[in-house]
């Protein structure tokens, strides 16, 4: 057994459920783009959280894909949330006239995704869609809905499959909630 699992109070999404949902998302996304006559995509992943999800999802989308990443300032280790997330490393690929699919791990307040979508739009892509592994709908502070969502989850702080608590647990194959006694309460929830 993976010893990290002992730190979880509960598992919200199992490894099998993630695999099955990624298969479905791959089929759905591929079908939607092909129906729209699109054969090539530019994937923009938000590091670090989206890395594992992106790696698995990409291999279920049998279209031509280009891949790039955006890094956003993290506020989880700060004592206070910094207001607006800032892009600290932008994409290198030219997306002018391209079809962009932005991928992230979780849609929470919506600030990160709306900021990045806005920034990407200024580069004049042909289309831009978004795909989130998780959606914590109750937490939204800015209006933002993703085109594709893996799982809707309740308002709990989750880790695993790319998501971290103070940089731990990203490698867990499932998504779960860390035991309360192991959490210095995340300052930004
Ligand atoms: P938003 O800008 O509030 O939507 O936040 C999105 C970012 O906050 C995500 O990309 C994650 O890095 C982080 N985040 C939000 N909720 C969680 C959580 O439950 N666990 C781990 N990271 C989270
Ligand atoms: Mg993240």
Q: How many CB atoms lie within 10 A of CB 96?
A: 9
Distance from C-alpha of 118 to C-alpha of 114, rounded to nearest angstrom: 6
Q: For residue 175, report the distance from its CA to the centre of ligand 2, in Å.
A: 14
What average pLDDT is seen over the chain? Answer: 93
Ligand 1 atom closest to 136 (CA): 16
At 36 the pLDDT is 98
Distance from C-alpha of 114 to C-alpha of 79, rounded to nearest angstrom: 24
At 96 the pLDDT is 98
The pLDDT confidence band at residue 100, using thresholds 50, 70 and 90, is very high
Query: 50-80 pLDDT, tens per residue?
Result: 999 999 999 999 999 999 999 998 665 544 4
Distance from C-alpha of 152 to C-alpha of 138, rounded to nearest angstrom: 10
Please give the model's pTM, rounded to 2 decimal places.
0.94
106 lines ligand 1 (CB under 6 A): yes
Catalytic residue among 16, 108, 135, 164: 108
For residue 109, give the DSSP letter: S
Nearest to 159 by CA among 150, 147, 143, 171: 171
Helices (H), the chain: 15-35, 51-58, 111-121
50 lines ligand 1 (CB under 6 A): no
Is residue 108 flagged as an active site residue? yes
Distance from C-alpha of 142 to C-alpha of 151, rounded to nearest angstrom: 20
At 75 the pLDDT is 60
Ligand 1 test: best mutation among 51, 54, 88, 106, most atoms within 8 Å of CB? 106
Q: For residue 48, report the distance from its CA to the centre of ligand 2, in Å.
A: 6
Does 101 score more than 50 pLDDT? yes
Q: Which residue has the higher pLDDT, 182 or 170?
A: 170
At 5 the pLDDT is 95
What would the mean pLDDT of 97-125 be, rounded to a whole number? 97
Q: What percent of the chain has pLDDT over 90?
A: 85
Q: Which CATH number fits domain 16-156: 3.40.50.2300, 3.40.50.2020, 3.40.50.10490, 3.40.720.10?
A: 3.40.50.2020
183 lines ligand 1 (CB under 6 A): no
Q: Which residue has the higher pLDDT, 185 or 113?
A: 113
The three-state secondary structure class of 15 is helix
């Amino acid at each position: 057994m993976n010893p990290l699992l002992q730190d979880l109070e509960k598992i919200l999404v199992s490894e099998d459920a993630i695999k099955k949902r990624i298969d479905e998302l791959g089929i759905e996304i591929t079908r939607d783009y092909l129906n729209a006559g699109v054969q090539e995509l530019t994937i923009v992943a938000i590091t670090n959280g989206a890395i594992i999800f992106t790696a698995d999802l990409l291999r279920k989308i049998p279209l031509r894909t280009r891949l790039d990443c955006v890094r956003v300032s993290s506020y989880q280790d700060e004592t206070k949330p910094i207001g607006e997330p800032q892009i600290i490393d932008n994409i290198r690929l030219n997306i002018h006239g391209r079809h962009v699919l932005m991928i992230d791990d979780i849609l929470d307040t919506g600030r990160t995704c709306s900021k990045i979508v806005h920034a990407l739009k200024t580069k004049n892509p042909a289309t831009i869609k978004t795909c989130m592994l998780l959606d914590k709908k109750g937490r939204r502070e800015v209006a933002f809905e993703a085109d594709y969502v893996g799982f809707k989850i309740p308002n709990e702080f989750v880790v695993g499959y790319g998501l971290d608590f103070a940089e731990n647990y990203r490698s867990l194959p499932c998504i779960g909630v860390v035991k309360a006694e192991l959490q210095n309460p995340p300052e930004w929830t």
